[in-house]
Amino acid sequence: MLPSTTVRPPRGVRLALRLGYPLAGLLLFLAITLAVEAAAQASDSFDGILGRADHVGEPVALVVAGALGTLLGVVWSSSVLAEALRAQVGVRAITLTWDDARVSVPRTLVEDVVVGADVVLLGAGTVELARVRCDLDRPTLLTALTDHGYPTPRAEDPHEEVFTPWERTAQDLPRQERRLLGARAEALTDGAHGDAELLRRQLAARGVMVRDVHRPGRRARVQEWRVIPEAVPALSASAARDAART
C-alpha cells in the first residue's frame, strides 16, 4: 500500500518563519536595549537594566538582550509552524490539522475536491466534508491527491456564486441555523478554531455550508453560506410558501 503523504506550507514560507521570527526578536530586543541604555546615559537617577551603563551599546546588555530575543523568536516561530495547516493524504483518508482543529475524511466519501483559496472536500449532494484556507504547498498537495486516487482537484469552487454573506440580523435561515452561524462567528473572533470547525460540521449536517472570506474594507474574514435545500426542511417549507405566494 502506498504510504501516506504529509503536506505542509511551502518550504519558502517555513524557512522564512524559522529565520524571520528569531531575526525579528534579535533586532527588537537590541533596539529596546539601546533605547534603554541611551535613557540611562541621559538620566542621573536611572542606571540601566544591568547596572550602570558607561556608554550606549554596553556589550553585556546587548549580548543578553540579543540571546533572549533570538530565543523568544525561535519559540514564536515553532508555535506558528505547529499551528499551521498540514494535510495527511492517504489511500484510506485525508486528514487536515490546523491550530486546535482536526478533520479526517474517508476516501470513499470524497466525490470532488477543490484546491483554490480553500481546500474543499465535497461528498454526496455537494455536502462539504471539509473546508479550510489553503496555506499548503499546492504542487505537493495536488501530486499527493493524484497519487492516492482522489478525484482530479478543481481550481475553482463550483458553488462560488451561490454563497451569501452572513449577517446577524438576516432572517434567511431557520432560527437554529442562525444561532449556529452566530456561535461560529464568535468562536472565530475568539480564535477558537476547533469550536468553529465543530460548528461548521453541525451546520453542514443541517444542509448549510459555510466558508470564511476576506472582503475589501473588512479587517477580519467574514462568513458566507449556501444551502442544500432538500437537507433543510424548515428552509424548504419557507421556500415553498414563498413560491405559492408568487
Above 50 in pLDDT, residue 246? Answer: no
- As given in the structure block, the three cell numbers for residue 103 are 478533520
**Which tens digit of pLDDT belongs to each residue from 144-193?**
999 999 999 999 999 999 999 999 888 889 999 999 999 999 999 898 99
Contact status, residue 199 vs residue 184, Cβ threshold 8 Å: yes
**Which tens digit of pLDDT belongs to each residue from 185-232?**
999 989 899 999 999 999 999 999 999 987 655 566 789 999 986 655
b/e per residue 138-154 (b: at least 16 CB within 10 A): bebbbebbeebebeebe
Q: Please provide residue 106's backbone torsions phi and psi, each rounded to the nearest 5 degrees.
A: -60, 145
3-state secondary structure of 208: strand
pLDDT of residue 10: 94
Residue 103: band (very low, low, confident or very high) from pLDDT cuts 50, 70, 90: very high
pLDDT of residue 220: 67
| Domain residue limits, the chain | 10-83, 89-156, 162-245
The residue that leads in pLDDT, 54 or 115, is 115
Residue 238: band (very low, low, confident or very high) from pLDDT cuts 50, 70, 90: very low
- Which residues have C-beta within 8 Å of that of residue 228, sequence separation ≥ 6? 125, 126, 127, 207, 209
pLDDT of residue 33: 82
Residue 11: band (very low, low, confident or very high) from pLDDT cuts 50, 70, 90: very high
d(CA 234, CA 203): 14
**Which tens digit of pLDDT belongs to each residue from 24-81?**
999 999 888 888 777 766 666 555 555 444 555 567 778 888 899 999 999 999 998 9
Mean pLDDT of 83-101: 94
Mean pLDDT of 99-118: 95
- As given in the structure block, the three cell numbers for residue 160 are 462560488
pLDDT of residue 240: 34
Nearest to 115 by CA among 152, 163, 154: 154
**Model-level pTM?**
0.79
Q: Beta strand 222-227 with 93-98: parallel, antiparallel or unpaired?
A: unpaired
Q: How many CB atoms lie within 10 A of CB 83?
A: 14
CA 75 to chain centre: 20
